[in-house]
């Protein structure tokens, strides 16, 4: 049997393990969505093309709606990409450590996973990209920026270089892009095999909704539409996405609050006996210097603080990842960590 995606959902007081937003979306969003429930034709199938939602997303990013594909979380976006462009006899390139679902989905659809490493500081290593691409000719190459779990952003120069190397599609997973200084969306056009994926789960405070999308050339979107199940995106979810886009300012406000809080948490962490990676996302990767990662993870859990244990991931010996929460949650984490390291 294949191992599934593993992220324990433990009952704790402080949940900082899955990079969700600690803030709920605005009450006015919930009210507007509740009103929308009464307007849905529940006896009819949803708009198969999710057109109105795509129009709104296209406006947000200054692209055409035909360049937008929407699905049940960006995980389903990635799955449909793999079903369409990868599969048996084709390979998918990933550079570990990175988001585990890229390789997981590739394997599930029967692709070979061409696994590359990273530089010692966990940044993307262009020589390694060259090696993997030349050896495996991947149908899909993944770059995650900011990268989960390191939090590091790839520069525009790096993404352009990788684009010049890949024989197939380059998929830049931007689940955390609103926390970062630039976006690869600016590089998407009809003549470039570049796909940028986004999600409502993190910056939009809507993990419960399961909604994600990509921006790509129209010819990519047209292929995906042939593969995805008909009516996969229900009417309520389409409405939730449209209504969320009426609250862009509030989303940006939450993001800047979290960026400020991230600065505070990192400043506290660097004073502790841990190694800390610079983050452009809503999480921070760190490694206790003198103590075992598993032991620290358990000590935090004993204080009812759940963080992500990355210590068995490739290249992340002893590392833990904390999602930035509310000030109170982060203080609980920092207190528990001090105790664990004392």
Q: Which residues bind ligand PLP (CB under 6 A)?
A: 19, 73-75, 99, 144, 148, 173, 175, 199, 201, 207, 212
- We find the least distance from the C-beta atom of residue 19 to ligand PLP, in angstroms, to be 6
- We find the least distance from the C-beta atom of residue 333 to ligand PLP, in angstroms, to be 19
- Name the residue number minimizing CB distance to ligand PLP: 73
Q: From CA 303, how far away is CA 338, in angstroms rounded?
A: 11
- We find the least distance from the C-beta atom of residue 81 to ligand PLP, in angstroms, to be 12
Q: DSSP assignment of 124-140, as one string?
A: --HHHHHHHHHHH--SE
Looking at beta carbons only, is 28 or 227 nearer to ligand PLP? 227
Both tokens assigned to 339 = 């105790």
Burial class (CB within 10 angstroms; exposed 0-12, middle 13-18, buried 19+) of 241: buried
Q: What is the dihedral of CA 151, 157, 162, 165, to 10 degrees?
A: -170
- We find the least distance from the C-beta atom of residue 180 to ligand PLP, in angstroms, to be 12
Looking at beta carbons only, is 82 or 199 nearer to ligand PLP? 199
- We find the least distance from the C-beta atom of residue 213 to ligand PLP, in angstroms, to be 9
Looking at beta carbons only, is 29 or 204 nearer to ligand PLP? 204
- We find the least distance from the C-beta atom of residue 231 to ligand PLP, in angstroms, to be 19
- Positive or negative: CA dihedral 330, 331, 332, 338: positive
Query: In degrees, to the nearest 5, what angle opens at C-alpha 143 toward C-alphas 243 and 260?
Result: 55
Q: From CA 288, how far away is CA 296, in angstroms rounded?
A: 8
3-state helix, strand, coil in the chain (%, to 5): 45, 15, 40
In contact, 214 and 86? CB cutoff 8 Å: no
- We find the least distance from the C-beta atom of residue 38 to ligand PLP, in angstroms, to be 27
Looking at beta carbons only, is 210 or 287 nearer to ligand PLP? 210
C-alpha closest to that of 140 among 114, 162, 168: 168
Looking at beta carbons only, is 138 or 212 nearer to ligand PLP? 212
C-alpha closest to that of 57 among 179, 196, 214, 204: 214
- We find the least distance from the C-beta atom of residue 98 to ligand PLP, in angstroms, to be 8
Please tell me whether the peptide bond between 149 and the residue prior to it is cis, using omega within 30 degrees of 0: yes
Residue 68 zone, left/alpha/beta (φ > 0; ψ -120 to 50; rest) = beta
Q: From CA 176, how far away is CA 259, in angstroms rounded?
A: 12
Looking at beta carbons only, is 242 or 299 nearer to ligand PLP? 242
Looking at beta carbons only, is 111 or 205 nearer to ligand PLP? 205
Looking at beta carbons only, is 22 or 73 nearer to ligand PLP? 73
């Amino acid at each position: 049997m294949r191992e599934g995606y593993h992220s324990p959902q433990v009952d704790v007081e402080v949940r900082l393990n899955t990079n969700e937003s600690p803030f709920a979306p605005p009450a006015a969003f919930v009210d507007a969505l509740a009103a929308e429930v009464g307007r849905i034709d529940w006896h009819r199938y949803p708009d198969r093309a999710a057109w109105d939602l795509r129009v709104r997303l296209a406006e947000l990013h200054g692209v055409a709606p035909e360049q937008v594909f929407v699905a049940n979380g960006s995980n389903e976006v990635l799955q449909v990409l793999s079903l369409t462009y990868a599969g048996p006899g084709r390979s998918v390139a990933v550079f570990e450590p990175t988001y585990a679902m890229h390789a997981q989905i590739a394997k599930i659809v029967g692709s070979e996973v061409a696994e590359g490493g990273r530089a010692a500081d966990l940044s993307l290593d262009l020589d390694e990209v060259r090696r993997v691409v030349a050896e495996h000719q991947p149908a899909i190459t993944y770059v995650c920026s900011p990268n989960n779990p390191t939090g590091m952003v790839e520069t525009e120069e790096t993404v352009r270089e990788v684009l010049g190397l890949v024989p197939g599609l380059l998929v830049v997973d931007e689940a955390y892009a609103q926390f970062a200084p630039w976006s690869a969306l600016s590089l998407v056009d009809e003549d470039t095999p570049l796909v940028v994926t986004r999600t409502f789960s993190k910056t939009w405070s809507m993990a419960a909704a399961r909604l994600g999308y990509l921006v790509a050339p129209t010819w990519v979107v047209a292929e995906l539409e042939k593969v995805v199940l008909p009516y996969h995106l229900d009417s309520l979810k389409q409405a939730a996405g449209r209504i969320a886009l009426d609250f862009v300012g509030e989303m940006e406000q939450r993001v800047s609050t979290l960026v400020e809080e991230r600065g505070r948490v990192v400043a506290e962490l660097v004073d502790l006996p841990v190694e800390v990676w610079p983050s452009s996302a809503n999480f921070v990767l760190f490694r206790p210097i003198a103590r075992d990662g598993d032991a620290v993870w358990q000590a935090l859990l004993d204080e009812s603080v759940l963080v992500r244990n990355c210590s068995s991931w490739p290249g992340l010996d002893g590392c833990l990842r904390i999602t930035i929460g509310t000030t109170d949650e982060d203080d609980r984490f920092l207190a528990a960590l001090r105790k664990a390291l004392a």
